[in-house]
Structure 1
Amino acid sequence: MSTITTPFGFSSTAAEVAAGIDLTGRRAIVTGGASGIGVETARTLADRGAEVVLAVRDMAAGERVAKDIATTTGNQAVHTAPLDLTDPASVSAFVAAWQGPLHILVNNAGVMACPERHTRQGWEWQFATNHLGHFALATGLHGALAAGGAARVVSVSSSGHQRSPVVFDDIDFTFRPYDPWLAYAQSKTANVLFAVEATRRWAADGITANALMPGAIRTNLQRHIGDGGGRVRPDQMKSVEQGAATSVLLATSPLLDGVGGRYFADCDEAEVVDRPTGNLRGVARYAVDADNARRLWTVSEALLADAG
């Protein structure tokens, strides 16, 4: 299995990687599409002709962004829909309201290093938001993705996944002292493992899923960590337009036709590593391990089933 490389890199923008690609007739969902790289991801998909739904918690913010995207791209098929990833009922309602095929699902929304908090079901907040909610959304929309033909799921992860595997015996920090970075890390590992197992299960339906590290971008995602919390050098920082590039590449590029279950950074497939790296690019071996991916899928299904 050859490693995927592209003509794009660290400095490429979302508009550059999507240049010349026609998405007319394609339908896309971008979670967290009202802020950060979600805005630029949605804007680029709309600019290339896709119908785009911003799945957001803050509908007022979503409507403002949708209007701006429609104005700047000339594409009026930009909509908003309510989605709270920590609430299974909200995810179920979103899925039930969706009609017709779906071609692109960008699981972009997320929280980072937030104070200890649990959902009504007892799930740790970052795992619930970053992984479980997106898992429920994607599995709920499986039929729509299969109907889309050659559909793609994009799972926005982070180099932060290198700080921790999914700790299956204590996902919710019931026994461990809560650590916001370890909680974030295991949720981002889960994002990669989801892409691995979704591709294995769904490739026969024409659905592929890939995960990515968008890069270090100053957005609302960092609101809990302060100015020094990112530990990123200035030369490693990206603009929002650059940060959305790898997401858009995985969602649109013909170079990724039929490719799934992989992790990308700076628009290229990342090297599998056995120790943490300092360049934000590598993917931990445990995050692409097929057995871990199957186990996470089973655990996720059980958690959601118990939630009713």
Structure 2
Amino acid sequence: MNATPATSRFDWHATAAEVIDGVDLTTCRALVTGAGSGIGVETARALASAGAETILAARNLTTAAAVADDIRASTGNDNVHIAHLDLLDRASIDSLAAATIDRPLHILVNNAGVMAIPDLRRDPEGHEAQFATNHLGHFRLTVALLPALRAANGARVVSLSSRAHLNSTVDFADIDFRERQYDPALAYAQSKTANVLFAVEAARRWAEDGIEANAVHPGAILDSDLVRHLDRTTVDQLRDSDRYTFKTVAQGAATSVYVATSPELAGTVGRYFENCREADPGNPAAGGIDAAGVAAYALDPDNARRLWDLSEQMNN
């Protein structure tokens, strides 16, 4: 594991196409969850443009099929496929994993997510829906794909977090909001901290397998299906405010693609990136425009181990 923050020639302005320029993935196989919309589309497009066999995992196969056609046409790569994935449905997760582990998987981008569900919802097992979708579903999928990741002899796993993780630790005493009042923003923040902790513990557990796991914050993006639970007034207020500097979807996909493919990051594991740069816990401003840094509790190895053990129990 590297001891100092990784350096990068890219910043907030970079697009997915720019960070992958010159990268050859013609011998690689990649899977992107949530690839039917938003930054998932541009992440998949970038990987396909570099020659990777690319699997677009999405809930809506009709939408995903249209996206796949567009990516094939824009990249000239016909090796682009679609697969069904509902992260709240264990059978769907297990089916995708079973269909994918037959050959090496070099890149897994856990991109799908849900944000700000207004009312408390639960998955079929009774877990709060944002935590279940953003963390537990991806946890189950990634663990199930471990044989294919190991077979790649140098796989990378990228988990999409958010600067929102700064708003909450994982409340181990009440993850599912059974005792405390449900708060949409707090539930989302907790799930995003879980995404970072997952990367920290996956990096520790799978280092000897050559699997490099990291987490990223893509940036603030409004042109995304992620904001579907926000009312129009809220979206307009955010767009008009100076709270965030918003990115395009092409810019939003850049950090995911950079961490998934850059040769500069060989050996970098268990870290958190924003604006194509590793966040420095002691210097949030090092990340550039609109950087917020990373919370110490999200990188804490004890929290990461605790969450992993609990996630295994919750997935049984």
Task: Give your verdict on TM over 0.5.
Answer: yes
AA of the residue aligned to 1:257: A
* 1:111 to 2:140 alignment: no
**What is the TM-score normalised by the length of structure 1?**
0.95
Report the equivalent of 2:25.
23
* 1:268 to 2:277 alignment: yes
Counterpart Cα distance in 2 of 1:274 and 1:175? 36
Counterpart Cα distance in 1 of 2:59 and 2:190? 23
Give the secondary-structure state (helix, strand or coil) at the position aligned to 1:221: helix
* 1:243 to 2:243 alignment: no
Query: Are the structure 2 counterparts of residues 149 and 142 from structure 1 closer, same or farther at C-alpha, using a change threshold of 3 Å?
Result: same
Report the equivalent of 1:290.
301
Task: Tell whether the 8 Å contact from 1:33 to 1:109 is kept in structure 2 after alignment.
Answer: yes
AA of the residue aligned to 2:46: T
Give the secondary-structure state (helix, strand or coil) at the position aligned to 2:315: helix
* 1:304 to 2:282 alignment: no
Task: Tell whether the 8 Å contact from 1:105 to 1:152 is kept in structure 2 after alignment.
Answer: yes
Instruction: Please list, as runs of the form range in 1=range in 2, the aligned pairs for 1:1-308 lying within 5 A after superposition.
Output: 1-98=3-100, 99-115=102-118, 116-218=120-222, 219-226=224-231, 227-228=233-234, 231=238, 233=242, 236-272=245-281, 279-305=290-316
Task: Tell whether the 8 Å contact from 2:13 to 2:251 is kept in structure 1 after alignment.
Answer: yes
Question: Identity, % of aligned pairs?
Answer: 57
Task: Tell whether the 8 Å contact from 2:283 to 2:293 is kept in structure 1 after alignment.
Answer: no
Give the secondary-structure state (helix, strand or coil) at the position aligned to 2:74: helix
The alpha carbon displacement at 1:149 in A equals 1.1
Structure 1 range deviating more: 56-65 or 89-98: 89-98
Counterpart Cα distance in 1 of 2:30 and 2:95? 18
The alpha carbon displacement at 1:90 in A equals 1.1
The alpha carbon displacement at 1:120 in A equals 1.2
Task: Tell whether the 8 Å contact from 1:103 to 1:145 is kept in structure 2 after alignment.
Answer: yes
RMSD value over aligned CA atoms?
1.8
Query: Are the structure 2 counterparts of residues 225 and 272 from structure 1 closer, same or farther at C-alpha, using a change threshold of 3 Å?
Result: same
How many equivalent pairs are there? 305
The alpha carbon displacement at 1:234 in A equals 7.3
Counterpart Cα distance in 2 of 1:117 and 1:10? 34
Query: Are the structure 2 counterparts of residues 273 and 188 from structure 1 closer, same or farther at C-alpha, using a change threshold of 3 Å?
Result: farther
Counterpart Cα distance in 2 of 1:286 and 1:228? 29
The alpha carbon displacement at 1:52 in A equals 0.3
Task: Tell whether the 8 Å contact from 1:273 to 1:284 is kept in structure 2 after alignment.
Answer: no
Counterpart Cα distance in 2 of 1:25 and 1:94? 21
Structure 1 range deviating more: 224-233 or 44-53: 224-233
Task: Tell whether the 8 Å contact from 2:199 to 2:213 is kept in structure 1 after alignment.
Answer: yes
**What is the TM-score normalised by the length of structure 2?**
0.93
Counterpart Cα distance in 2 of 1:273 and 1:217? 26
Task: Tell whether the 8 Å contact from 2:35 to 2:44 is kept in structure 1 after alignment.
Answer: yes
The alpha carbon displacement at 1:281 in A equals 2.7
Counterpart Cα distance in 1 of 2:313 and 2:244? 43
Counterpart Cα distance in 1 of 2:253 and 2:66? 19
Give per-residue Cα distances to partners, 1:84-129, cap 9 Å, x unaligned.
1111111111111112110000000000011221111101000000
Give the secondary-structure state (helix, strand or coil) at the position aligned to 1:63: helix
Task: Tell whether the 8 Å contact from 1:136 to 1:304 is kept in structure 2 after alignment.
Answer: yes
Query: Are the structure 2 counterparts of residues 19 and 144 from structure 1 closer, same or farther at C-alpha, using a change threshold of 3 Å?
Result: same
The alpha carbon displacement at 1:82 in A equals 0.6
Counterpart Cα distance in 1 of 2:282 and 2:82? 39
Counterpart Cα distance in 2 of 1:140 and 1:240? 29
Counterpart Cα distance in 2 of 1:225 and 1:235? 16
The alpha carbon displacement at 1:235 in A equals 6.3
Task: Tell whether the 8 Å contact from 1:273 to 1:285 is kept in structure 2 after alignment.
Answer: no
The alpha carbon displacement at 1:273 in A equals 5.5
Give the secondary-structure state (helix, strand or coil) at the position aligned to 1:297: helix
Counterpart Cα distance in 2 of 1:43 and 1:97? 22
The alpha carbon displacement at 1:25 in A equals 1.2
Give the secondary-structure state (helix, strand or coil) at the position aligned to 1:79: strand
Counterpart Cα distance in 2 of 1:35 and 1:155? 17
